[in-house]
Amino acid sequence: MNILVVGAGATGGFFGARLARAGQDVTFLVRPARAAALRERGLRITGLGEDEVITPRLVTAAELSTPYDVVLLSVKSTALTRSIEDFAPAVGPQTVIVPLLNGMAHLRELNERFGPEPVLGGVAKVVTTLNSDGDIVRLAPPASLAVGEQDGRPSPRVDKLAAMLVDAGIDATATAHIVPAMWSKWVFISTLAALTCLMRGTVGEVAAVPGGPAFVSGLLTEGAAVADAAGFPVRKHELAALEATLTTAGSPLTASLYRDVLAGRPTEAEHVFGDLVARARDLSVDTPLLDLAALHLRVHEHRTATAGSR
């Protein structure tokens, strides 16, 4: 398979590098500035164990002209619309698109642009960030991918894709329940982001103070209620595992969205929170804590937009 990785950031860069190191035919679609940095330094992964460096094959949107077998889409939701137009020439009759974004709104946009047939569901679980040099820093060991058809049907192409990922040393699974898995991750991400953004601290710092664990429970309960009303309930044992992760004593875990807030960057607030609370209203689910997080982040977005226009 020839694979186009859209974005060489913390997630796409990590999994794309793993595929390239395993000998897969991988090309990264990047902006010109990112291309220049990667040509100078290589694509570097650091943070756990020995550093990894690859010399990536790169292409910019202006140079893209032929279809790929797989498009691995890993960009911030704020860049989704532009990225779709950038990689559209890479989508042919047999192309599969694997989006690794948080939330669910991107499926609607991809389905509207390409039709639902080429678009799979995808869930990435990896704790990475970019440092000031543009290197990918692993913050914790977990790194896995799940892929599946949106309608849950058996799928030889999904099985083939998952096998290729496993052969590259990636913890990957093909699942008939990818949409529920995406909802489950959305509940987790929204809880983690609300927790760390509103409390301005790590999971461990919130867990250490009176009221912290109860706040986690309240956020999880709201997110799970929206998923349940939408028809994708998070199973009790999954909720228990999520709550345990989010109340772990001493945990340094934070949301990437929180790290964007601290850095004064735009965030995925609308994709993660705006869409979630809008669905809650449509489903008549009360979400006061998630509403508060959405409002808090909208103020941040307004502030950064105003600063950027000066």
Q: What is the CATH number of domain 2-176?
A: 3.40.50.720
Q: What is the pLDDT of residue 93?
A: 96
Q: What is the pLDDT of residue 307?
A: 81
Task: Look up residue 220 and give its amino acid.
Answer: L
Kindly list the distances between the CA atom of residue 140 and the CA atoms of 47, 49, 144, 222, 308, in Å, as whole numbers in the listed order. Answer: 8, 11, 12, 27, 33
- For the chain, the domains span 2-176, 181-308
Residues 2-8, mean pLDDT to the nearest whole number? 95
Kindly list the distances between the CA atom of residue 31 and the CA atoms of 9, 101, 221, in Å, as whole numbers in the listed order. Answer: 11, 18, 40
Task: Look up residue 103 and give its amino acid.
Answer: G
The residue that leads in pLDDT, 223 or 50, is 223
The closest of 73, 108, 115, 107 to 90, measured between CA atoms, is 73
309 confidence band (pLDDT: 50, 70, 90):
low
50 confidence band (pLDDT: 50, 70, 90):
confident
CA angle 165, 173, 226 (to 5 degrees): 130
Contact 265, 232 (CB under 8 A): no
What percent of the chain is predicted at pLDDT more than 90? 92
**pLDDT tens track for 93-143:** 999 999 999 999 999 999 999 999 999 999 999 999 999 899 999 988 889
* Mean pLDDT, the chain, whole residue set: 95
The closest of 247, 249, 257, 274 to 197, measured between CA atoms, is 257
Residues 276-293, mean pLDDT to the nearest whole number? 98
Characterise 250 by phi-psi region: left (phi > 0), alpha (psi -120 to 50), beta (else): left
**pLDDT tens track for 178-222:** 999 999 999 999 999 999 999 999 999 999 999 999 999 999 999
Q: What is the pLDDT of residue 142?
A: 83
Q: What is the pLDDT of residue 140?
A: 86
Kindly list the distances between the CA atom of residue 236 and the CA atoms of 42, 68, 136, in Å, as whole numbers in the listed order. Answer: 44, 40, 34
Q: What is the pLDDT of residue 57?
A: 96
68 confidence band (pLDDT: 50, 70, 90):
very high
pLDDT over threshold 80, residue 308: no
Report how far residue 290's alpha carbon sits from residue 274's, in angstroms, rounded to the nearest whole number. Answer: 9
Q: What is the pLDDT of residue 310?
A: 59
The closest of 15, 23, 17 to 99, measured between CA atoms, is 15
Q: What is the pLDDT of residue 213?
A: 97
Fold classified for 181-308? N-(1-d-carboxylethyl)-l-norvaline Dehydrogenase; domain 2 (1.10.1040)
Residues 222-249, mean pLDDT to the nearest whole number? 97
**pLDDT tens track for 266-276:** 999 999 999 99
**pLDDT tens track for 14-27:** 999 999 999 999 99
